[in-house]
Structure 1
Amino acid sequence: MSTAAVLALAMALDALLGEPRWLWDRLLHPAVLMGRAVGWCDRRFNAGTGRRAKGVLVMAGLALGAILLGAALAELGWLVEVIVAAIFLAQKSLAQHVGAVADALRVSVGNGRMAVAQIVGRDTAAMDEPAIARAAIESAAENFSDGVIAPALWFLVFGLPGLLLYKITNTADSMIGYRNDRYEAFGWAAARFDDLLNLVPARLTAAMIAALHGALGDWPAIVREAGQHRSPNAGWPEAAAARALGVALSGPRAYDGRMRDFPFVHEAGRKMIGADEIDATVRLLWRVWGAGLALTVAGALLFAG
């Protein structure tokens, strides 16, 4: 079976089942195991001198282990590949978590704050309704690139080795890729490698969002606003989503009790937004996902022919 056909089945399986609690309440999720591996490396090697060199070697070791594990699993046949790929795709769970913010926000702003705190790292205690909606939409756009398009693309290009390589890198970046005293040196390699692996997926995600929502004419503005983001990749799907939805995103927000004056993305867009715009974002995710599935199926059929 072709890689494209396996990916199409994995996407469908993820959309059908998502992250079933009955299973992961009983078994350790592979992403948890990856996190434990990164955590062990952090505790064991992130000390003393030469932390950047140690971080490079740790990232190289984790990457090699992921590639070898992916190759071994691929030898077990296409059914194992489908299951493993589906586990590491996050379309349904992402849509559910983002949609839950809209549902909570319709109950109260306090409920919305608690729901959005599950998916963002910024301070949520003082958020009003538009700030909650912006946070949810930004998280949806960025995590759609990181959790759906990127793993799908790397699987399509390099199979399970590529998928597991991407996921261990993304996990390492989320745990140690911070610019602070503890991780700036040790997590440097993880952060830079994650930036590299997301370079194409982030821009592909932005292009798909724009193309499916009549926003390709705004591409120069998307490129400009993506370049203003503190991340080299996260700004791309965020800027495209802002244009597609007609809303203003980013803007001032607080981290660790300190307000940061970030510029708005698509400042001319609507700023008084709420649950309806979050729901529109969930529909956007599914629309782009559907286009990706259609392209993958077409590729599978073309390859089969």
Structure 2
Amino acid sequence: MSHASVMALALLLDAAFGEPRWLWSRLPHPAVLIGRAIGFLDQRLNRESRSAAQRKALGMLTVVILCAAALAVGHLLAGFGGLVEALCAAVLLAQRSLAEHLRDVTRALRLSAGEGRRMVARIVGRDTKDMDAPAVARAAIESGAENFSDGVLAPLFWGLIGGLPLMLLYKAVNTADSMIGYRTARHGDFGWAAARFDDLLNLIPARLSALMIALWHRQGGQWGEIALEARAHRSPNAGWPEAAMARALGVALSGPRSYHGQMQDFAYVNAAGARDIGPAQIEAEIAVLWRIWAMGLAAALALAALGAAV
């Protein structure tokens, strides 16, 4: 099977089955295994007694080890055939689980702002205890846009290029960034390579996700505004799908929020959009994400057909 055929099947498998609890309650999820490997390397190599330069070099070595292991395991599993490769690739996609998480926030927010805060805390890193209902909705929508790019389109993009090995490499680097890619005293140097490589791997997928959202919603004429706000975002990549999604839904995203008890005065994305938002807007985003997913599936099927015809 071609890479495109494998990815098309993986997309369908993920959409149909998502993350089956009966399986991952018995076996460790690949993300858990990757996380354990990163934690092991962090404990062994990232020691306070070492200089900043040493920790940065060892962080680079950590990324090299993770990438080499991911490529090796990916090639090994792909050797069992296209069906096994597609099953493994489906595990690395997060479309259905993302939609389910967002739907959980929607249901909770319909009960109360407090329930919404409790549920959205599972998918965002900001402080949630003082959020009102619109802030909960904004947080969920922002998380949905960013995680679609990181958890669906980026692995699909790299899978179309290099199959399961590149998907696993992307997943390893993305997980490393989420664990050690922070500008803290412990990880500012050691996690530098993971953060920068993750930025690089998401460079094209983030912009592609924004373009797909904009094209579907006929926002080509607003691409200049989307690009301007995306470039001003605190993240080099997250701002792209966020800015496009804000316009697709007609809402204002980002804005002031708290991290670790400190308020951050971030500018609004699509400031002219609606700010008094709630469950309806989260549901609208879920619909958008499935439409863009369908575009990705269509692209994979088209590439598979093209490859078969050549």
Which band: TM-score by shorter chain? Answer: over 0.9
> In structure 1, what is the equivalent of residue 283 of structure 2?
279
> In structure 1, what is the equivalent of residue 271 of structure 2?
267
Find the partner of 2:93 among 69, 83, 89: 89
- Cα deviation, residue 27, structure 1: 0.7
- Report Cα offsets for 1:216-244 as digits up to 9, x if no partner: 11100000000111110000000000011
Find the partner of 1:67 among 51, 71, 79: 71
User: Following the alignment from structure 1 to structure 2, what is the Cα–Cα distance between the partners of residues 92 and 291?
Assistant: 15
- Cα deviation, residue 78, structure 1: 0.5
Stretch of structure 1 that moved more, 294-303 or 31-40: 294-303
> In structure 1, what is the equivalent of residue 166 of structure 2?
162
User: Following the alignment from structure 1 to structure 2, what is the Cα–Cα distance between the partners of residues 132 and 214?
Assistant: 27
- Cα deviation, residue 249, structure 1: 0.1
> In structure 1, what is the equivalent of residue 224 of structure 2?
220
- Report Cα offsets for 1:40-62 as digits up to 9, x if no partner: 01111101221101101111111
User: Following the alignment from structure 1 to structure 2, what is the Cα–Cα distance between the partners of residues 256 and 104?
Assistant: 24
> In structure 2, what is the equivalent of residue 243 of structure 1?
247
Q: What one-letter code is carried by the residue in structure 2 that aligns with 1:136? A: A
TM-score (norm 1): 0.99
User: Following the alignment from structure 2 to structure 1, what is the Cα–Cα distance between the partners of residues 277 and 134?
Assistant: 5
SS in 2 for 1:259: strand
Q: What one-letter code is carried by the residue in structure 2 that aligns with 1:107? A: L
Question: Does residue 46 in structure 1 map to residue 46 in structure 2?
Answer: yes
Structure 2: which 5+ residue stretches go unaligned?
none
Q: What one-letter code is carried by the residue in structure 1 that aligns with 2:214? A: A
- Report Cα offsets for 1:151-178 as digits up to 9, x if no partner: 0010100111110110000000000000
Question: Does residue 55 in structure 1 map to residue 59 in structure 2?
Answer: yes
- Cα deviation, residue 79, structure 1: 1.1
SS in 2 for 1:254: strand
User: Following the alignment from structure 2 to structure 1, what is the Cα–Cα distance between the partners of residues 140 and 62?
Assistant: 33
2:142 touches 2:242 (CA, 8 Å); kept in 1? yes
SS in 1 for 2:232: coil
| % identical equivalent positions | 61
> In structure 1, what is the equivalent of residue 8 of structure 2?
8
> In structure 2, what is the equivalent of residue 303 of structure 1?
307
Structure 1 segments of 4+ aligned residues over 6 angstroms from their partners? none
Question: Does residue 205 in structure 1 map to residue 190 in structure 2?
Answer: no
> In structure 2, what is the equivalent of residue 292 of structure 1?
296
Alpha-carbon RMSD: 0.6
> In structure 2, what is the equivalent of residue 174 of structure 1?
178
User: Following the alignment from structure 1 to structure 2, what is the Cα–Cα distance between the partners of residues 164 and 158?
Assistant: 10
Question: Does residue 122 in structure 1 map to residue 149 in structure 2?
Answer: no
Q: What one-letter code is carried by the residue in structure 2 that aligns with 1:150? A: A
- Cα deviation, residue 3, structure 1: 1.1
SS in 2 for 1:198: helix
- Cα deviation, residue 213, structure 1: 1.1
SS in 2 for 1:10: helix
Q: What one-letter code is carried by the residue in structure 1 that aligns with 2:83? A: L
- Cα deviation, residue 2, structure 1: 1.3
* Number of aligned positions between the proteins: 305
Find the partner of 2:259 among 238, 255, 259: 255
> In structure 1, what is the equivalent of residue 83 of structure 2?
79
- Cα deviation, residue 73, structure 1: 1.1
- Report Cα offsets for 1:167-200 as digits up to 9, x if no partner: 0000000000000101000000000000000000
> In structure 1, what is the equivalent of residue 138 of structure 2?
134
> In structure 2, what is the equivalent of residue 21 of structure 1?
21
User: Following the alignment from structure 2 to structure 1, what is the Cα–Cα distance between the partners of residues 163 and 300?
Assistant: 14
SS in 2 for 1:66: helix
Question: Does residue 108 in structure 1 map to residue 112 in structure 2?
Answer: yes
SS in 1 for 2:258: strand
